[in-house]
C-alpha cells in the first residue's frame, strides 16, 4: 500500500500523529535529533562508561555534511564536521575516537581521535577494512 492514495483504506492500527516518520522514528531507533546551525541532525549516541560524557554523530539529511558533537554533563563542549561517521566512542576523560567510512565503492576510512577540548590528536587514513579495539580507560 502506498500512503496518500485515495482508493486505499488506512492501514490497520496506523495513526500518523503517533507513528509519523521523524521524532517517533528517532525514539524507536535509539537516535536523537540535535538542532545546530539551522539544521536538524539525526544522531547516534554513545556515553562514556561513567555517563558524564556523550558523543553524538549524524547527518542533517541526504546531502548534508555529517557532524560530531561532544557533550559533558549536558553541555555542548565542541562540534566538528565528519565524513560518513560509523562509530564513535568516548572515554571518562572526554577523549573521543571516531571511525569515518570512506567511499562506498572502496575499502577505506579514517580513524580520528580528539581530546575533551576538540583538539584533534590522531588522523589515520586506511585503505582497507580495520578491526579496532578501544578501551574506555586510558
- Residue 46, Cα to own-chain centre: how many angstroms? 9
Question: Quick one: pLDDT at residue 138?
Answer: 47
Question: Quick one: pLDDT at residue 2?
Answer: 46
Could you please report the per-residue DSSP string of 43-61? EEEEE-TTSSEEEEEEESS
Between CA 96 and CA 111 the distance in angstroms is 10
Print the domain residue range for 114: 32-126
The residue count of the chain comes to 138
Residue 17 inside a domain? The answer is no
**pLDDT tens for the 138 residues of the chain, in order:** 444 555 666 666 666 555 555 444 445 556 888 999 889 999 999 999 999 999 999 998 777 899 999 999 999 999 999 988 999 999 999 999 999 886 666 667 788 999 999 999 986 665 555 555 555 554
- Would you say the pTM of this structure is higher than 0.85? no
Residue 21 inside a domain? The answer is no
Question: Quick one: pLDDT at residue 53?
Answer: 97
Number of domains in the chain: 1
Residue 135 inside a domain? The answer is no
Question: Quick one: pLDDT at residue 137?
Answer: 52
Residue 18 inside a domain? The answer is no
Question: Quick one: pLDDT at residue 75?
Answer: 96
Residue 8 inside a domain? The answer is no
Question: Quick one: pLDDT at residue 63?
Answer: 76
**109-114 vs 96-101, strand pairing mode:** antiparallel
Between CA 70 and CA 94 the distance in angstroms is 8
Residue 103 inside a domain? The answer is yes
39-47, strands of its sheet edge to edge: 32-36, 39-47, 53-59, 66-72, 75-82
Output DSSP code: residue 62.
T
Between CA 36 and CA 11 the distance in angstroms is 35
Residue 41 inside a domain? The answer is yes
Residue 10 inside a domain? The answer is no
Amino acid at each position: 500500500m502506498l500512503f496518500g492514495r485515495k482508493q486505499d483504506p488506512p492501514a490497520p492500527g496506523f495513526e500518523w500523529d503517533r507513528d509519523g516518520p521523524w521524532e517517533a522514528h528517532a525514539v524507536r531507533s535509539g537516535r536523537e535529533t540535535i538542532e545546530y546551525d539551522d539544521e536538524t541532525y539525526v544522531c547516534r549516541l554513545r556515553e562514556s562508561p561513567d555517563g558524564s560524557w556523550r558523543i553524538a554523530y549524524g547527518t542533517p539529511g541526504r546531502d548534508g555534511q555529517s557532524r560530531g558533537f561532544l557533550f559533558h554533563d549536558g553541555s555542548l563542549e565542541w562540534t566538528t564536521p565528519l565524513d560518513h561517521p560509523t562509530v564513535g566512542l568516548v572515554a571518562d576523560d572526554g577523549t573521543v575516537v571516531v571511525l569515518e567510512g570512506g567511499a562506498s565503492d572502496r575499502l577505506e576510512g579514517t580513524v580520528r581521535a580528539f581530546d575533551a577540548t576538540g583538539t584533534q590528536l590522531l588522523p589515520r587514513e586506511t585503505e582497507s577494512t580495520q578491526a579496532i579495539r578501544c578501551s574506555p580507560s586510558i
